[in-house]
Structure formats: structure tokens, C-alpha cells
């Protein structure tokens, strides 16, 4: 177990090996201990709880896969699977298209691009709960902004209960969460565009590549790593997002927008903790793949 | 570059006027698309403010894009019993405490991992990243049990402790990036001049990473200010409600009070909007370096 400063030459004047080692561990210890206690331990505890019949006020007994079997027999559970997949896939695609498109526009040498960039990032600066409460008001059938605009511009004369109708609720939730989530993609892709070496484009021009060829052969490959990491992170966050569904529809109407985190929260509210934990644990396999993939990409990018 | 302007300007026509026209059209289209996007971004923000300033009875009875009569009645109604102000105060206490704790101990950890090589460094790096990506939706159930056991349920202290689960990993991860950018030669120079290693961290590395520390502080504050799920599960009494929780309970009451709700939403946005406009530059840099949800 050796400690040295990071470059290859040993630097004795920084103190003896043991003292230095102790210092390094002492500095990192608080964060490591808190993460072990507040993330790692609860993580494994949640898995244990999902195999018990724990309710509020009891420690619960091991009951094997009973919670998982029970959940798999309910329609709400299957609705949550389907809805979570739909929300993640559709909003990822929309955020990618909108984020990439706007980043390409702002990346041009346009006068005033800084102002556009600031405005386009505004949803990201708003608290998520504020954004989704505002959208909830916008979607109101009477007095809501969306119906008002549709009526006044003559596009549609009726009154739609956007969040209260099975056919429109999901699309409404997705639109609101794309509104709040696209700036992260926009700014990540914009930063990636700005870091593509100019020489690559010059070389492509020398080789006679036209604009589309340069876009597909230079721009896209250069920003692809950023797009992949952004997609992974955004998928993890969206799949585990609670506010957007909770504040807009609370999973309704009749499970049309039910997702895993809201289902787990309802389980918690009805005090059946074992079942609630099983809901979260059901997500774990897919989530673990995304997280491991994202972690290794982020570690590699960092080195 | 595949910008519309360049598609136009690089077109291989030798007729200058035609190229010029295409350039202008491309410009125009770019601006048109951006302006549409900005309107779509701004409309909900406008709606929030407009609704909050309408007369309460006008919101449903006289739906209009522009408030027909301006009024502060919604704000008065929201603030009347002092409950919402209390929750704003609670949010400030929680968010600032989490920020201070998080920035201090994360900068120690990040410094240790950037400047020293030791056996478990790689493992710790991975642990921190895993912790960052472990979602609250998995942790809220066990954490509520743990907090109850620690007798910290339903308290601001409990919330502060729980919010460290997302702030510490993010802060440590981001600060590692910033500390890597501080040349070690400067620290060595400082130590030759008589500083201890800890002194070099405090007097040289931290001041030189000020923009990074600012970004990390803002992200941490924002994360804690916005958090809803943990607060919902961990707190039961009104006296320890945070701002998102207070607004959440406004909509679960029988009558939906849109006016006061939007007034509360507007008030809750103010601190973050100020931070955002003051420190946008740091935040963009931090966001793109560390992939921050915000």
C-alpha cells in the first residue's frame, strides 16, 4: 500500500509516506463514510426489505419473492412498465432532436446568439416543481393557457382536459418534461460542438467533402460520445423522475401515466413498505446496466 | 460546419447575388426557428407570472392571455398565515446548510483523490459515481426507515443529512475536474515557502478553483432547493415543510387555488433565477464538465 504524489518522481519534501497516506485517507474519509452510510447501506437495505412483508412499525419477515409475484399480478405494475418505457424513449428522442437542432442553430456565428442561449436555458434554471406546477395550470380545461390559445387562434374550439383524459395525459406529461429537460441536451451538445477541432473541418474541405458529408463524417462522430453519455444520464433521470408525473397527474387518469417512482411512493403511503421496495427493486436490473455503462464512459472521459 | 448559413454561403454558385440571397434566407430561417423556440420556452414562465397577478375570481371566470385586472391578492392570500414564508425559510436553511457541508467535505475528498495515489482511490472514484447515479426513487424507502431509527424523521436535520446523498457525489465528482486544472507546481512553491500541505490546499488550490467552487455550490443549493420526493416522505408536520412541499400540499387540498399556487411558484423561482443570472457562466462550464441534471 504505497502513497505518492501523482507524478512519477517521488517528492520526499511533502512528508513521510505514512503521514501522507494518513492525510490522504483522512481527507477522503468523511465523504466515503457518508456515502457508505447514506447510499450504499440503504441501497442493500432496500433490496432486503423488498423480500420481506415489512409494514410501518414492524421489522418484517422474509417472504421470498411474494412481493414480486404479487406486483406482477397487478395491472398497475404493467402500466408502470409500459409508461416508464414510453416516457423515457419518447422524451429522449424529442430532447435529442430539439437539443441538437437548437445547438446547431446557436453554434452558427449569429449576432445575438448569447441572448438566445440564455433564454433557451431558462427551463433548466427553474425549479422542477415550479415548472411542473405551471404546466399543470397551463393544461387546465377551463382557464388554462393551452386551451385558451387553441380557442383564440381558432385552431380548436373545444375544451380538452389534457391531464384528465387517458388519450392526452401521457403526451402532456412528456411535453412538459421535454420542456424542462431539453436545455441539458442543448447545452451539452453545444459545448461538444464548440470543442470540435477546426482542423478536422479544414481537412474535410480539402478532401472535397460537402456540407452534409462534413456533418455526418466530422460533426456527428465528434459529438457522439457526448450524445451517448447525455442519453444514458437523461434516461436514468427520466426513468426515476418523480416530480413530473406526481405534480401533473399523480399517475392518473386510471394509471394512464403511472410510473415506477410514483407507484413506489403510493406503496409507501399505504404503509406496505416491502411491496413499495419491490417496485423500486424491479427497476434495478435495467437501471444497473445503464448506470454501469454510464459510469465507465464517464470514468474514461475523465482520465 | 453544418450551419444553415454555411450551407448557403458555401454553395458552389459563382453568382454572388444569388449566394448572398441564400445566405440571408438561411439567416432569416435560423432566427425564425430560434424565436419560435424562445417563445415556447417563455410562454409557461409568462403564464405563471400572469396567473399569479390576476384577480383570483378572474382566473376561471374571465380566462385571458393578459390579466384584465392586476392584483396582488394571490400573493396576499398565499402569505397571509405565514406558513409559506416559514417553508421558504426552511428551504433556505436546508439548502444553505447542505451546500456548506457539501462544498467543504467534498473539496477535501476531491483534493485527496486528485493529488494522491493510494490503494482504494479507483474504488472510491467508482463508488462516488455509482452513488451519484443511484436514484432517489430507490433510496427514499430505506432512508425513511433509517431516519426514523436515528430519530431524525420529520426534522430539518434529517432532510439535510438525506440531501447529502445526492450533493456529495456530485460535488466531489465536479471538484475533481476543477482541481486537476490547478498546476501542482503552485502548491509546491507554496510549500517551499513554508505552507503545510493542508495550508496549500486552503490557500492555493481552493482560491484558484473559486469558479468551480461557485458552480458546485450553486448546483448543490439548487438540488436541495428543488427536492420534493424525500421531503414528501420524511416530513409530516407543517413546521418543517420546505417550499416544494408547501406547494405540493396546496394542490392536494380540495379546491385548486391556482392563483396562490402560481404566486408561490414565482416566489420559489426567485432565488434560483438570481443565482442563474449572476453565475450563468460558471454553471454552464460546470454542467458540461460534470453532466449535471440541475
Chain A: residue nearest B60 by CA? A143
Please provide the distance, in angstroms rounded to a whole number, between the alpha carbons at the two ends of chain A: 22
The pTM assigned to this predicted structure is 0.87
Residue with cell 399523480: A250
At CA B100, angle to CA B94 and CA B101, rounded to 5?
Answer: 90
pLDDT value, residue A161: 87
Query: Is residue B292 scored above 60 in pLDDT?
Result: no
pLDDT at residue B136, rounded to an integer: 87
pLDDT of residue B234: 92
Rounded distance between C-alpha atoms, residue B126 and residue B133, angstroms = 11
Which residues on chain B are in Cβ contact (under 8 Å) with A210? 10
**Residue A99: closest CA among chain B residues belongs to which residue?**
B37
Closest residue in B to A231 (Cα–Cα): B291
Mean of the pLDDT values across residues B46-75? 83
Looking at mean pLDDT, say which of A83-87, B127-131, B199-203 comes out highest.
A83-87
> Domain spans of chain B?
4-53, 74-290
Closest CA to B145 of A271, A36, A237, A63: A271
- Least confident span in A96-105, A259-268, B205-214: B205-214
pLDDT digits (tens, 9 = 90+) for B3-15: 554 544 444 545 6
- Among B65, B143, B294, which residue's Cα sits nearest to residue A123? B294
State the nearest Cα–Cα gap between A247 and chain B, in angstroms: 7
B116 with A246: Cβ contact below 8 A:
no
CB-based contact B143 A42, cutoff 8 Å:
yes
The DSSP-derived string for chain A is ---EESSSS--GGG--HHHHHHHHHHHHHHHHHHHIIIIIHHHHHHHHHHTB--BTT----B-TTHHHHHHHTSHHHHHHHHHHHHHHHHHHHHHHHHHHHHHHHHHS--TTHHHHHHHHTHHHHS-HHHHHHHHHHHT-TTT-HHHHHHHHTTS--S---TTTSHHHHHHHHHHHHHHHHHHHHHHHHHHHHHTS-HHHHHHHHHTT--HHHHIIIIIHHHHHHHHHHHHHHHHHHHHT--HHHHHHTTT-STTTT--HHHHHHHHHHTTBHHHHHHHHHHHHHHHHHHHHHHHHHHHHHH-
pLDDT band at residue A302 using 50, 70 and 90 as cut-offs: low
At B36 the pLDDT is 95
pLDDT, mean over chain B: 85
**Tell me, what's the pLDDT at A120?**
92
Distance from CA of A116 to the nearest CA of B (A): 7
**Residue carrying the nine cell digits 437539443:** A99
Q: Where in chain A are the domains? A: 17-50, 75-302
CATH architecture entry for B74-290: Orthogonal Bundle (1.10)
Q: Do A259 and A83 touch, CB atoms closer than 8 A?
A: yes
Assigned CATH for A75-302:
1.10.3720.10
Give the mean model confidence (pLDDT) for residues B16-37. 90
State the pLDDT at residue B293: 44
Q: Is the per-residue pLDDT at A10 higher than 50? A: no
- pLDDT tens across B158-195, in order? 999 999 999 999 899 889 888 888 888 888 888 888 88
Peptide bond between residue A253 and the one before it cis (omega within 30 degrees of 0)? yes
pLDDT of residue B1: 43
Amino acid at each position: 500500500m504505497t502513497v505518492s504524489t501523482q507524478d512519477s518522481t517521488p517528492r520526499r519534501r511533502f512528508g513521510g509516506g505514512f503521514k501522507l497516506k494518513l492525510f490522504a485517507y483522512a481527507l477522503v474519509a468523511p465523504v466515503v463514510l457518508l456515502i457508505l452510510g447514506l447510499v450504499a447501506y440503504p441501497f442493500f437495505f432496500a433490496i432486503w426489505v423488498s423480500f420481506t412483508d415489512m409494514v410501518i412499525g414492524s421489522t418484517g419477515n422474509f417472504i421470498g419473492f411474494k412481493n414480486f409475484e404479487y406486483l406482477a399480478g397487478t395491472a398497475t405494475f404493467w402500466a408502470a412498465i409500459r409508461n416508464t418505457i414510453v416516457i423515457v424513449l419518447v422524451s429522449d428522442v424529442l430532447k435529442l432532436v430539439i437539443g441538437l437542432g437548437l445547438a446547431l442553430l446557436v453554434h452558427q456565428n449569429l449576432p445575438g446568439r448569447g441572448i438566445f442561449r440564455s433564454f433557451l436555458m431558462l427551463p433548466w434554471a427553474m425549479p422542477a416543481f415550479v415548472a411542473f406546477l405551471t404546466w399543470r395550470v397551463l393544461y387546465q380545461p377551463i382557464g388554462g393557457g393551452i386551451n385558451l390559445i387553441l380557442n383564440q387562434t381558432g385552431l380548436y374550439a373545444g375544451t380538452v382536459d389534457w391531464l384528465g383524459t387517458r388519450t392526452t395525459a401521457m403526451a402532456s406529461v412528456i411535453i412538459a418534461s421535454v420542456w424542462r429537460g431539453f436545455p441539458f441536451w442543448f447545452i451539452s451538445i453545444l459545448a461538444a460542438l464548440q470543442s470540435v477541432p477546426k482542423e478536422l473541418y479544414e481537412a474535410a474541405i480539402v478532401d472535397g467533402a460537402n456540407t452534409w458529408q462534413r456533418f455526418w463524417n466530422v460533426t456527428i462522430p465528434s459529438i457522439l460520445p457526448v450524445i451517448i453519455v447525455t442519453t444514458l444520464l437523461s434516461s436514468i433521470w427520466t426513468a426515476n423522475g418523480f416530480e413530473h408525473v406526481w405534480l401533473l397527474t399523480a399517475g392518473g387518469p386510471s394509471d394512464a401515466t403511472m410510473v415506477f417512482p410514483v407507484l413506489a411512493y403510493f406503496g409507501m403511503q399505504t404503509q406496505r413498505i416491502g411491496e413499495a421496495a419491490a417496485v423500486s427493486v424491479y427497476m434495478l436490473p435495467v437501471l444497473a446496466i445503464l448506470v454501469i455503462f454510464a459510469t465507465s464512459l464517464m470514468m474514461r472521459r475523465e482520465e | 460546419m453544418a450551419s444553415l448559413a454555411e450551407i448557403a454561403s458555401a454553395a458552389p454558385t459563382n453568382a454572388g447575388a444569388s449566394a448572398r440571397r441564400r445566405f440571408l434566407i438561411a439567416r432569416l430561417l435560423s432566427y425564425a426557428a430560434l424565436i419560435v423556440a424562445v417563445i415556447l420556452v417563455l410562454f409557461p414562465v409568462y403564464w405563471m407570472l400572469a396567473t399569479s397577478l390576476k384577480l383570483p375570481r378572474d382566473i376561471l371566470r374571465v380566462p385571458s392571455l393578459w390579466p384584465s385586472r392586476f392584483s396582488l391578492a394571490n400573493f396576499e392570500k398565499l402569505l397571509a398565515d405565514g406558513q409559506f414564508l416559514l417553508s421558504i425559510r426552511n428551504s433556505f436553511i436546508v439548502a444553505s446548510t447542505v451546500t456548506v457541508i457539501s462544498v467543504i467535505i467534498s473539496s477535501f475528498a476531491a483534493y485527496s483523490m486528485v493529488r494522491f495515489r493510494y490503494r482504494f482511490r479507483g474504488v472510491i472514484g467508482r463508488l462516488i459515481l455509482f452513488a451519484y447515479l443511484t436514484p432517489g426513487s430507490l433510496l427514499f424507502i430505506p432512508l425513511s426507515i433509517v431516519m426514523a431509527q436515528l430519530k431524525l424523521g420529520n426534522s430539518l436535520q434529517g432532510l439535510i443529512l438525506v440531501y447529502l446523498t445526492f450533493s456529495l457525489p456530485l460535488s466531489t465528482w465536479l471538484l475533481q475536474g476543477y482541481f486537476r486544472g490547478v498546476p501542482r507546481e503552485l502548491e509546491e512553491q507554496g510549500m517551499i515557502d513554508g505552507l503545510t500541505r493542508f495550508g496549500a490546499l486552503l490557500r492555493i488550490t481552493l482560491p484558484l478553483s473559486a469558479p468551480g467552487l461557485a458552480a458546485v455550490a450553486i448546483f448543490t443549493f439548487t438540488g436541495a432547493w428543488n427536492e420534493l420526493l424525500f421531503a414528501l416522505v420524511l416530513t409530516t408536520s407543517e413546521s418543517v415543510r420546505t417550499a416544494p412541499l408547501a406547494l405540493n400540499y396546496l394542490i392536494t387540498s380540495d379546491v385548486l387555488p391556482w392563483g396562490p399556487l402560481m404566486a408561490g411558484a414565482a416566489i420559489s423561482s426567485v432565488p434560483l433565477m438570481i443565482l442563474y443570472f449572476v453565475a450563468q457562466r460558471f454553471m454552464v462550464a460546470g454542467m458540461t464538465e460534470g453532466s449535471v441534471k440541475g
